[in-house]
Amino acid sequence: MTRHSPFWALSVAILRGFLRDKAAVFFAVVFPLMFLVLFGGILGNQDQSKVDLIQVGAVPLVDDLPSGAAKAFEETFEVDRTQDLDAALEKVRKGDADVAIEQRGEDLVAHYTQTDQVKAAVTQGTLRAFVDGANVAATGRPPTYTFTAQRVEDESLSVIQFVTPGLLGWAVAMSAAFGSAATLQGWRQSKLLRRLQLAPVGTGTIVAARVAVTLMIAFGQLAIFLALGAAAFGLTLTGSWWMSVPLVAVGTLCFMAIGLLAGALAKTTEGAVNLANFLVLPMAFLSGSFFPLDGAPAWLQRLSDLLPLKHFNSGMLDVMVRGEGPAAALVPLGILAGFAVVVTLLAARLFRWETT
């Protein structure tokens, strides 16, 4: 294909139009990256957080822990020591500390706050485990059972690796849907579609140029997200991460179809963009782009299974984070492709050349 072909000329024109539109560049690239930086900064050190513990007076159970147990205790708790029980309890009430402990004879007493119920339960369970270990050690007999915890993911895994695929999926979905919705409606309002019908350029060439530019933007988003994640937050790719390329390609086509549907239904460019936003933004929340849905009600999780972005995000997580092979991307690819075909056919049926 020569550089003077209609496809090349249209592609360059569409790409230049995108780059000149500062708002489009901002919402396609800069805006999603702001979320990556925000979540990366907030959650980047989440794995290293400790429980804030105040030790009141002498606590022989803690002070006399064996070296191995003492090291585990230090890795679990950030310890502050004081002799004032009332002051310690006040700090716990205000949320400045998670728990205050004191020892009354043989009884270890933990004063905790129920404000964060999950952390309170974890704190109690951890302290109870140390007490049980001390009881076993006091008998002078070796424990019958031991416990070893092993994470199923790579040891280098960090929170940013879970955040990046979801935010990237949202960014690709938003850019593809908004771009195709605005383009279709804008071309229809300006009568450009009618003029293109009379031009010596086939409809297939026009569509191919628009698709090519949208795919180019999506691959640019992929490269920028991965580069920033690796450089700034230590993102490490695992498994068949290269399968993210076909996933991004098919996902882009899927959300272009959603944008075409929005453009076909709306009467104005603003209406088309708003309708695309109405479809994509709730989908991002319901598909785990910003936070996992593990704690959501069962009916909400079943609803999310009907959304293409859920399968896009899941496929990206499998091949980029969970160490899965290429086969893990096949089902998401099939779902996204099927969704793209169905929605494109629906948009074509609803499309009208003139707005009324």
CA distances 265 to 270, 324, 354, Å, are 12, 39, 12
pLDDT computed for residue 347 by the predictor:
87
Q: How confident is the model at residue 33 (pLDDT cuts 50, 70, 90)?
A: confident
Average pLDDT value for residue range 260-283: 87
Domains observed in the chain: 6-43+157-350 (no CATH), 51-139 (3.40.190)
Query: In this predicted structure, what is the pLDDT of residue 253?
Result: 95
The answer on pLDDT for 193 being more than 90 is no
pLDDT tens figures, 286-342: 888 887 777 778 888 899 999 999 999 999 988 988 888 899 999 999 999 999 999
Predicted confidence at residue 354, as pLDDT, reads 64
Q: What does the mean pLDDT of the chain come to?
A: 81
Q: Give 73's pLDDT tier (boundaries 50, 70, 90).
A: confident
Question: pLDDT tens digit string along 74-133?
Answer: 888 889 999 999 999 988 888 788 889 998 888 888 898 777 676 777 888 888 888 887
Q: What pLDDT sits at residue 156?
A: 47
pLDDT at 1 > cutoff 70: no
Mean pLDDT of 14-25: 76
Taking residues 248-255, what's their average pLDDT?
A: 96
Direct distance between the N- and C-terminal alpha carbons of the chain, in angstroms, rounded to an integer: 39
Order of strands, sheet of 51-56, starting from the edge strand that comes earlier in the sequence: 77-82, 51-56, 99-104, 107-112
The predicted structure's pLDDT at residue 355: 60
66 has a pLDDT exceeding 60: yes
The DSSP line for 149-191 is ---SS-TT--HHHHHHHHHHHHHHHHHHHHHHHHHHHHHHHTT
SS3 assignment, position 208: helix
Mean pLDDT of 197-221: 81
Alpha-carbon torsion 121, 123, 126, 132, what sign?
negative
Q: How many CB atoms lie within 10 A of CB 120?
A: 17
At 29 the pLDDT is 73
Give the model confidence (pLDDT) of 133-179 as tens digits. Answer: 777 777 767 666 555 554 545 544 566 777 888 899 999 999 999 88
In the 3-class helix/strand/coil scheme, how is 280-309 assigned residue by residue? HHHHHHHCCCCCCCCCCCHHHHHHHCCCHH
Whether the predicted pLDDT of 189 surpasses 50: yes
**CA angle centred on 179, ends 167 and 257, rounded to 5°:** 85
Query: How confident is the model over 256-277, as a mean pLDDT?
Result: 87
Q: Structure pTM?
A: 0.68
Residues 212/252, Cβ–Cβ less than 8 Å: no
Asked whether residue 43 carries a pLDDT value surpassing 70, the answer given is: no
Residues 6+ apart with CB under 8 A from 252: 172, 176, 214, 215, 218
